[in-house]
């Protein structure tokens, strides 16, 4: 199975900061990766798919990049409502797997 490792596991940043989360795959997965945001007690929400395509309705401050084994999710200017846990997931081959998550807190 393909393992996804996210870093950091926890991040604290201030409103307006630029924030980057990394997701590394144990083998190449082309661009078959998505990023999800999950707020407490809520279902996950798709932010980015195909590694870099912004889902409709998601603010443009979110962006994704990467291919192969290293991927990043960037929030260009952090907002209070961005406090959440962020997960990556690969869609390359079965079974699909998720990263362990990155908890983002706002200072």
Partner 1 sequence: EVQLVESGGGLVQPGWSLRLSCTVSGFRISSNYMTWVRQAPGKGLEWVGNINRDGSEKNYVDSVKGRFTISRDNAKNSLYVEMNSLRVEDTAVYYCASAGAYSGGRSYYDSWGQGTLVTVSS
Query: 46, 40, 54, 42: which is closest to 83 by C-alpha?
Result: 40
Q: Does 87 bind partner 1 (CB under 8 A)?
A: yes
Q: Work out how close the CB of 84 gets to partner 1 at its nearest, in angstroms, rounded to a whole number.
A: 13
Q: Does 103 bind partner 1 (CB under 8 A)?
A: no
Site residues (CB under 8 A) for partner 1, limited to 11-50: 30-32, 34, 36, 38, 42-46, 49-50
One DSSP character per residue, 34-84 reads EEEEE-TTS--EEEEETTTEEPTTS-TTEEEEEETTEEEEEESS--GGG-E
Q: Work out how close the CB of 7 gets to partner 1 at its nearest, in angstroms, rounded to a whole number.
A: 14
Q: Does 101 bind partner 1 (CB under 8 A)?
A: yes
Find out whether 62 and 73 touch, Cβ atoms under 8 Å: yes
* Residues of the shown chain interacting with partner 1 in the complex, contacts defined by CB under 8 A: 1, 30-32, 34, 36, 38, 42-46, 49-50, 53, 55, 87, 89, 91, 94-101
């Amino acid at each position: 199975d393909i393992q996804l490792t996210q870093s950091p596991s926890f991040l604290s940043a201030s409103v307006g900061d630029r924030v980057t989360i990394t997701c590394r795959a144990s083998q190449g997965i082309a661009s078959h990766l998505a990023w999800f945001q999950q707020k407490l007690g809520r279902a996950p929400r798709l932010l980015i798919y195909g590694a870099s395509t912004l889902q409709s309705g998601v603010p443009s401050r979110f962006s994704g990049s990467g291919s192969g084994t290293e991927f990043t999710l960037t929030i260009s200017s952090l907002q209070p409502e961005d406090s959440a846990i962020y997960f990556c997931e690969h869609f390359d081959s079965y079974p699909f797997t998720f990263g362990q998550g990155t908890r983002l807190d706002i200072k």
